[in-house]
Structure 1
Amino acid sequence: MRRYLPLNLHFLLLLALFRAGFAEAVLQWQENTETLEIGSQIQYIVDQSNQLTIDEIRHNQTLEWQRTQLRTPSFGFSDATYWVRFTITNNAETTQDVFLDVSYALLDEVTLYQFSHPAQSTAVTMENGDNLPFKDRLVEHRKLLFPLTLTGSTTFDIYLRIRSTSSIQIPMQLWAKSTFYSHDQYSIFGHGVYYGIVLVMALYNLFLYLRLGDRTYLLYVIYIAAFAITQMALTGFAYQFFWPDSPQWNQSSIAVLTPIIVVFGCLFISYALKLRLFYPRIHLYFLVLINFNFFCFLAALFLSYNTLIKLVALMVIVACSSALYSSYHVWLTSRQRYAALFSIAWTVFLFGVVCLALNKFGWIPRNFFTESAAQIGSAIEIMLLSYALAERLQDANRQRLDAEHDALVANEQLLAEQQKHSAQLESTVQQRTQELTQALHKVQQLNNELIEISATDPLTGLKNRRRMDEILAIELSRSRRDKTPLSVILLDLDHFKRINDQYGHPFGDKVLKQVSQIIINNIRRPPDEACRYGGEELVIILPQTPLSGAHIVAEKIRKHIAATEMQTADEKLHVTASLGVACSDPKSGSYNGPAQLLEKADIALYEAKSEGRNCTVLNSFRNI
């Protein structure tokens, strides 16, 4: 026994020295140091009672401090208080002003105590966290920053007391102030790129919804907008810019917004993949998921963040997995290209969301990739889903063209079958062929008439407002390209309401028809076009015509109208018109868009009305 006693004593001595060295690792700050990663150098204690004070933490020798080897210590969701400590020596002779950067913006309470060596009984105390109004932070920044003053050639003990209803993650780094602000610019740029992508995709699909009326695009816009706002809440931007005076809402916003993302994401998938029509069972499953998350959304308005966030995080994984399964199922069963794009998009996004959720639970370490995985994955997903929606629209067009082709092929087969029996039923076939040819010709003629009708005002025979907008846009583009003038005449019949009231609307319609015919007879060039702008207002578009030429045409039309007798049931009536003329001339630098050009003509028309009617006014406001 005595023979082994010296060995045991040596072993105990070495163990004590090892523990002492392990506990007293000191960070070294040099004069030219720009940043220090301190996550793997800290020691921590878990206070399950939430009652330990700073004095007990410093002087109670029975407390067992633990060392973490992770760059970002992560402990998942916990109701306990976490105490963290580290020691740093400023080896520079001058005082160094640094930031202690706690990069996880969702921590509720973070209190810092700074003691200098030799042992100092009074601490420099600072409080931070997202339970404070943003204006009360030590530094107005989305991250939790503690400004530390390190006196030259001095050693400091730093203690942090941390409590939070969110996941306990402690990413810490010391920065020279100038270096921090320089590095932060790159971080802001990266976030700007991400939110720029979201904004562009949201606006693009919102315009598609307004143009096409397909709810799929609107649901997609709401989904990516909610996701972007949630990302801003996670990274601290939302607290800084959207609700800086609402710490209580900031603490619960993630639990409230996340179910909204799931609800609209599931609705978007159901509409985009047409689950209700082709896959009713999957659609029913998504309805259950939507209703459950809607309940979570309502519950999040009243229950605590800590109560719901674990369930919400789990529902995100379930929803993403369901989206992934349904998109792959639709792809493999239908072989639709847009379903393949959906599958790829949700695969990338699910990977990012799973990484973030596991990171929040503390099951995987927190680093740039795991913390940004959902943001990176969502950016890729947003672009792929937009492309998938475009492919979905193209697929619908392809199906329509295929149906038309199939109908054409069927018609050709029917015609061929009829020709096979032509020898026996020659006279009948010839008769039917002739009838078919006539029918086809009539259909073609009707199609041409329908096209013309869709662009023609039924009363006056002039081009309608929609066709006028198209013609004006085309001619303005040609005018700008060829550097030639384009004039517009806006004509309004004087006292037309009184004519309608006195002689009746049928006579008013007759007047409009006769005036329209006068205009048609006085514009003979092929590019000139007359259109009905609305009511008794008519527009004449004159390409390659300067203001002076348009004035001549306008006066000619005005005089013809004034000279024309309109026959009522009892008397003959003369009608007059007021005309406003405007010109867009790229050579003189007066190029105008369609709305501007019409507005100038309208101003001139108003001037003509003001000056007694039955006259023409140019857009220079000079009476002609």
Structure 2
Amino acid sequence: MKKYYWILLILPLLCSLLVSAQEPVTFNGGNLVIGNHVSILEDQTNSLSIKEVVNSDAFVPSDVPIPNLQLSKSDFWIRFSIKNESDQEQILLALEYPMLSTCEFYSMADGRVQKLSYDEAFSKRKYKHQNFIFDINLAKGTTSVYFLRVKSSEQMVLPMIIGSEKTIMEKLVTNDLAWGIFIGLILVMVAYNFFIWLSVRDSSYFYYVFYSLFVGLTQITLSGYTYRFIFSDSPELNHLSIILFAGLAGVTGNLFMMHFLQTRENTPKLHKATYVSIFIYSAAIILRLLGYDQASYRAIDIAAVTTVLLTFTVTISLSLKGYRPAILFLLAFSLFFTGLLLFVLRNIGVVPYNDFSNYTKEGGIALNV
């Protein structure tokens, strides 16, 4: 009986240790998403040193390919180990989310610390890309432990990929080409509607031109391209633009909807309610200007949900009455607003981060062209 007693006593402890341990990532040469091979430690004091972190037993294993840390004032430490089974001794770690305020990479093998931040000038980066890219030197057949410290005033999502320099760069170039096509479509849409406005002088087209412009700027800002190409030496402006462009897109989008659907005449009560969305978007911009970064980001999420719900209510009610502009509006914007709603739900952790929840907005915008 005593033997079984000790087995029952020790078994939960062994299970706990097995759960908390993460298997090393085995690198064979190709690109590999490592989110479900890492453990995460939240530092609510923002004061832990690397020595304290290395000795900590408070790490929690991740069970998703792309961890979503949402909005937080805490520092987060990410721990993982890599076993190199390839002939490549030079490996790259790419964190494909440029909105992190700080990202520090600690290598236990050689004691190196690599620090990157969008609060610093872009020209200081070794790899001229908006994503965070770090060097890993690891001999074939060896295993080493690594740590990341991340912090942000924005949403924190961690799509982490390891690969050879060749395969990582090929992936980044492919992404750049796709975004280049998207930016081209936005420019075409802005120019086309601008010339229509010059011809007809309809206020709906005037608001749609600015709405298209700010929606495009919002998407390329969230993807880091404004930091890379426009605000590369002005990180403060880049930080402001994250909310500024999104807020202006929301304001002009609501104004476009109000004029295009003539909500003042067709739905007077909902017309007045739309000003609530405009107010929240405006408040988000003011909050960012005053330095309330996380409050401004959350205000944008609230405004986006409010806008989606109001717009669907207006367009569906008018469509049921046979109002043709509302039917066209609903067909044109359904995918985009669905993507916008998924984006917000992803931000608050209701839906997981994946290509569908992350890029539905861009698909909807492209279809609007």
TM-score w.r.t. the length of structure 1 is: 0.57
Whole-Å separation in 2 of the counterparts to 1:291 and 1:248: 24
User: Looking at CA atoms only, which structure, 1 or 2, has the larger radius of gyration?
Assistant: 1
Query: In the alignment, does 2:347 pair up with 1:360?
Result: yes
Divergent runs of 4+, >6 A: none
Structure 2 Cα separation of the partners of residues 8 and 254 of structure 1: 59
**Cα distance in structure 2, aligned partners of 1:378 and 1:14:** 54
> 2:288 & 2:88 partners in 1: Cα distance?
47
One of 209, 228, 245 as aligned partner of 1:240: 228
Change over 3 Å in CA distance of 1:8–1:47 after alignment to 2: farther
Selected match of 1:26 from 15, 24, 27 = 24
Q: Which amino acid aligns with 2:357?
A: T
Does residue 72 (structure 1) correspond to residue 66 (structure 2)? The answer is yes
Displacement of 1:49 after TM fit?
A: 1.1
The aligned counterpart of 1:101 is: 94
Partner of 2:127: 139
**Alpha-carbon offset, residue 327 of structure 1:** 1.3
Say which is worse superposed, 233-242 or 146-155, in terms of deviation.
146-155
How has the CA–CA distance of structure 1 residues 169 and 288 changed in structure 2, closer, same or farther, with 3 Å as cutoff?
closer
Give the residue type in structure 2 aligned to 1:114: S
Paired residue for 1:37? 33
Name which of structure 1's ranges 42-51 and 273-282 shifts more when overlaid on structure 2. 273-282
Query: Displacement, 1:322?
Result: 1.1
Match of 2:139 in 1: 151
Is the Cα contact below 8 Å between 1:252 and 1:304 reproduced in 2?
no
- Match of 1:178, as an amino acid? K
- What SS is found at the alignment partner of 2:154? coil
Q: Which amino acid in the other structure matches residue 148 of structure 2?
A: L
- Give the 3-state SS of the residue equivalent to 1:307 in structure 2: helix
SS of aligned partner of 2:108: strand
CA–CA separation in structure 1 for the residues paired with 2:276 and 2:60: 45
Structure 1: 5+ residue stretches without partners: 117-121, 384-624
2-structure distance, mates of 1:259, 1:83: 31
2:297 match: secondary structure = helix
Name the structure 2 match of 1:448. Answer: none
Q: Specify the SS of the correspondent of 2:65.
A: coil
The one of 262, 269, 272 equivalent to 1:274 is 262
After superposition, give the CA deviation of every residue in 1:543-569 in whole Å (9 maximum; x if it has no partner).
Answer: xxxxxxxxxxxxxxxxxxxxxxxxxxx
Change (3 A) 1:297 1:57: closer
Match of 2:282 in 1: 294
- 1:340 alignment partner, one of 327, 334, 340: 327
Cα shift at 1:213: 1.1
Whole-Å Cα distance in 2 between the matches of residues 182 and 292 of structure 1?
41
- Please give the per-residue CA displacement for 1:325-373, whole angstroms capped at 9, x wherever unaligned: 111122112x133311211233222210111112122332211111112
> Quick check: 1:321–1:350 contact (8 Å CA) kept in 2?
no
- Superposed CA offset, 1:80-120 (max 9, x none): 1111101111234x55212111111101111111112xxxx
2:241 aligned residue (236, 241, 253)? 253
Worse overlay, 103-112 or 243-252:
243-252
**Are 1:7 and 2:10 matched, yes or no?**
no
Determine if the alignment matches structure 1 residue 89 to structure 2 residue 83: yes
Q: 1:362 to 1:24 in 2, by over 3 A?
A: closer
Q: Distance in 2 between matches of 1:12 and 1:87?
A: 30
Cα distance in structure 1, aligned partners of 2:195 and 2:282: 28
SS at match of 1:83: strand
Partner of 2:217, secondary structure, is helix
Contact 1:317 1:350 (8 Å CA) reproduced: no
**1:245/1:8 CA distance change after superposition, 3 Å:** farther
Mapping 1:512-527, distance limit 5 Å: none
The amino acid across from 2:69 in the alignment is: F
Q: Which structure 2 residues correspond to residues 106-505 of structure 1 after superposition, within 5 A?
A: 106-116=99-109, 123-333=111-321, 335-380=322-367, 382-383=368-369
Q: Secondary structure at the match of 2:82?
A: strand
Residue 216 of structure 1 aligns with an amino acid whose one-letter code is: S
Aligned length: 368
For residues 404-445 of structure 1, the C-alpha deviation after alignment (integer angstroms, 9 at most, x for no partner) is xxxxxxxxxxxxxxxxxxxxxxxxxxxxxxxxxxxxxxxxxx
For residues 580-613 of structure 1, what are the alpha-carbon distances to aligned partners after superposition, in whole Å with 9 as ceiling and x for unaligned? xxxxxxxxxxxxxxxxxxxxxxxxxxxxxxxxxx
The equivalent residue for 1:58 is 54
Match of 1:561 in 2: none
Kept in 2, the 8 Å contact 1:83–1:160? The answer is: yes
- Confirm or deny: 8 A CA contact 1:252 1:305 kept in the other structure: no
- Where 2:78 maps in the other structure, the secondary structure is strand
Instruction: State percent identity of aligned pairs.
Output: 24
Aligned to 1:592: none
Q: Which runs of 5+ in 2 are unaligned?
A: none
Structure 1 residues 14, 223: closer, same or farther in 2, change over 3 A?
same
Distance between the aligned counterparts of 1:12 and 1:128, measured in 2? Answer: 46
Change (3 A) 1:283 1:24: closer
CA distance in 1, matches of 2:3, 2:365: 63
